[in-house]
Chains A and B, each alone.
Chain A
Amino acid sequence: MKKVKIYVTLKESILDPQGSAVQGSLQKIGYNEVSDVRIGKYLEVTISDTDRDVDTIVKEMCEKVLTNTVIEKYRYEIEEA
Chain B
Amino acid sequence: MKFAVLVFPGSNCDIDMYHAIKDELGEEVEYVWHTATSLEGFDGVLVPGGFSYGDYLRCGAMANQSNIMTALKEFAGQGKPVLGVCNGFQILTEAGLLPGALIRNKNLKFMCRTVQLKVENNNSLFTNQYEAGEVINIPIAHGEGNYYCDEETLTELKANNQIAFTYEGENPNGSLADIAGIINKEGNVLGMMPHPERAANEIVGGADGLKLFKSIVKQWREQHVNN
* Residues of chain A lying within 8 A (CB to CB) of residue B65: 65
A70 touches B106 (CB 8 A): no
Interface residues of B (CB under 8 A from A): 57-58, 61, 65, 93-94, 99-101, 103-108, 148-150, 174
Closest 4 CB pairs of A and B: A70-B101, A71-B101, A17-B108, A17-B106
Contact A18/B104 with A68-B58, A71-B148 known, Cβ cut-off 8 Å: yes
A39 to chain B, nearest CB (A): 10
A65 touches B148 (CB 8 A): no
Bound-state CA distance A14–B106 (Å) is 11
The residues in A between 1 and 33 inclusive whose CB is less than 8 angstroms from any CB of B are: 10, 13-15, 17-18, 21
A-B contacts counted at CB < 8 A amount to: 33
A14 touches B103 (CB 8 A): yes
Say if the beta carbon of A66 comes within 8 Å of chain B: yes
* Residues of chain B lying within 8 A (CB to CB) of residue A10: 103
A and B contact pairs by CB, cutoff 8 A, 16 listed? A13-B150, A14-B148, A17-B106, A17-B107, A17-B108, A17-B174, A65-B57, A68-B58, A68-B61, A68-B94, A70-B93, A70-B99, A70-B100, A70-B149, A70-B150, A71-B103
A69's nearest neighbour on chain B, judged by CB, is: B101
